[in-house]
A and B are shown apart, each in its own frame.
Chain A
Amino acid sequence: MTNQAYQIQQFIELSGALTDFNAFTLNGTGQVQNYYDTLNRIVGRVMVEELLSKFSAIYEASTDHEKFNELLRKQIIGDEKFGPVARNIIKLWYTGMWYQMAQFWREAYGMSDEDVTFFVNSASYAEGLLWQAIDANPSGAKGPGYGSWSLPPNINFDNCWQFKPFNHTS
């Protein structure tokens, strides 16, 4: 596996842990590479590598999902540097949109010219996980079929991310 392929696999796992959607669902949006590239472009390759190594370390150090969640909260979500990035990754997946980083973060960790609020591409809006989370159609972007609005949502709860021992290939 090339270094980039490994990094992308780690990015998918991190994204799964942050969004609670499994790799199948994330791959299914067709956006993995686009989001990975977006993240690298804006916060920088070094920061992405640091974040993914931190994630791997947490994964390896965890014996179960509960421990993993605790470490994820303390060392990534609650971290001054990684927290805002992790929250942006969540927003990216749920809305298909990159949100400009907070000013304090920009001042501390770099102000990329590309760090503005934007849709990653024209498909990313329709592929936002929020639509799957509530089983609704992105307005104006996916044909739901006439009258589909009269049907109750049919939310798929079988696509959650799962913690597995680190050495298990997923």
Chain B
Amino acid sequence: MSDRIINNIDDLHDMLDAAIQLEHATIPPYLTALYSIHPETNIEATATIRAVLVEEMLHMTLSANVLNAVGKSPELTAPGFVPEFPTRLPDGETDFSVSIDKFSPETLETFLKIERPSKTQGDSNHLGPKGCLARTNLSAFQLRAVRPKSAPEYSFYSIGDFYEAIKSGIEYLEELANKEGETIFTGNPSLQVSSKYYYSGGGHVIEVYDKETALQALSLIIEQGEGHGHKIFDSEGEISHYYRFEQLKHRQFYRLGDEPGQPSGEKFEVDFDKVYPIKPNPKMADYPKGSQVFAAASAFNHNYQQFLSTVNKAFRGEQDLLLGAVCGMFRLKDHASQLIRNPIPDDPTYHGGPTFEMSYEEASHISREQCISETAK
């Protein structure tokens, strides 16, 4: 059995497809929790979730740049790309799933699990390649699973472990290719998304043309997510997602020099009561047909699907579309907020929430429409 996850270019493509899906899968939960917070309250929690959410969008773009650089186009409109919530994450953590839900202590715990640092080598009792465990409960994973051809399915303990495996794969495959006088970076450079199109979104986007830039892009994802080498702050003084969320748990900011788990900075309030009670993992079937909540949730899903389709085109050479997609994003935000601030008519203890249910039967119809009406029908 090979002890490598990635043994050929198809493995690498699979892993990067999974990476894009993984980054995207975190967006609905972060977005919903963020908009569930009452306006004007929980200032620190709002800023934290927002910062992480925006960086996930950067990570998705960076992963797409790497995939394009190694010769494959992202597929954001493929059926199943948007998971059905609650969902496992595609890098295969077995001990938690991710929900669309309000901001709460439980939600915060899940966010910490999503962003958790890699286990130090000593703790990990791994039976497979570095950073992974052989997985037996594959049926629990509806998302693109990591499937190296020559080995059983694996799950990773952390997202960082997953990206480390991609980095090793790139180094390995590029070295093999170079020996033959070739390269794996065969993608069309004109497909790269540059900072001309991606702006003020969680950091500087890195265009990927070779091994060096690919590793830079992937390292940035790891650093922003779980931090580097278990450090709270990175070399530029930016705090990683994991420790950002830990600050909310401790209700206190970290300062440079603090030890993990012991922040010593300014204290602040987190008020879990100042949150709209969204129905956990809502589905369209939970909303009475003909109600405003139903219409708004339906319009949101429609617009979200349209938005993904636009981003997909932008990742396939029409980068200009990203500029317009930003406007679409602000509209989505307004629509999601409206929905979340309204009680479900027949079940007023709960509020509405975006369901992120995509309808792939209509996909061809949607892609023909130039401009989707924003109005609830």
Q: Which residues of A contact B (CB under 8 A)?
A: 22-25, 27-31, 121-123, 127, 142-148, 151, 154, 156-159
Contacts and interface: CB of A to CB of B under 8 A. Distances in A.
B342 A27 contact: yes
A31 B292 CA distance: 18
Given A24-B292, A25-B338, A27-B342, A147 B376 contact: no
A18 B376 CA distance: 22
B330 A28 contact: no
Contacts of B38: 30
B327 interface: yes
Contacts of B329: 145
A31 B38 CA distance: 10
Contacts of A24: 292-293, 296, 338, 342
B298 to A, nearest CB: 13
Given A28-B339, A30-B341, A145-B323, 13 more contacts: A22-B292, A24-B296, A24-B338, A25-B338, A27-B342, A28-B338, A28-B341, A143-B330, A145-B326, A154-B373, A154-B374, A158-B295, A158-B377
B199 interface: yes
B376 A156 contact: yes
A143 B327 CA distance: 8
Chain B CB within 10 Å, residue with most, of A24, A122, A147, A159? A24
Contact of B326 (A29, A123, A146, A159): A146
11 contacts: A30-B337, A31-B39, A123-B39, A144-B330, A145-B328, A145-B330, A146-B326, A147-B323, A148-B327, A156-B375, A156-B376
Nearest to B325: A145
A156 B338 contact: no
Chain B CB within 10 Å, residue with most, of A31, A123, A143, A151? A143
Nearest to B328: A145
Nearest to A156: B375
Nearest to A154: B374
SS of A interface (majority)? loop
Contact of B40 (A23, A123, A147, A159): A123
Nearest to A132: B334
A147 B376 CA distance: 24
B324 interface: yes
Contacts of A28: 337-339, 341-342
Contacts of A25: 338
Nearest to A151: B327
A146 B342 contact: no
B296 to A, nearest CB: 7
Contacts of B295: 158
Interface string B259-295: 0000000000000000000000000000000001101
A147 B324 contact: yes
Contacts of B339: 28
Contacts of A123: 39-40
Contacts of B373: 154
A156 B376 CA distance: 8
Chain B CB within 10 Å, residue with most, of A22, A31, A151, A159? A159
A110 B153 CA distance: 75
Contacts of A122: 40
Contacts of B375: 154, 156-158
A25 to B, nearest CB: 7
Interface string B229-268: 0000000000000000000000000000000000000000
Nearest to A22: B292
A127 B341 CA distance: 13
Instruction: List the 7 shortest-distance A-B pairs measured between CB atoms, nearest first.
Output: A28-B338, A145-B327, A24-B292, A145-B326, A123-B39, A148-B327, A30-B39
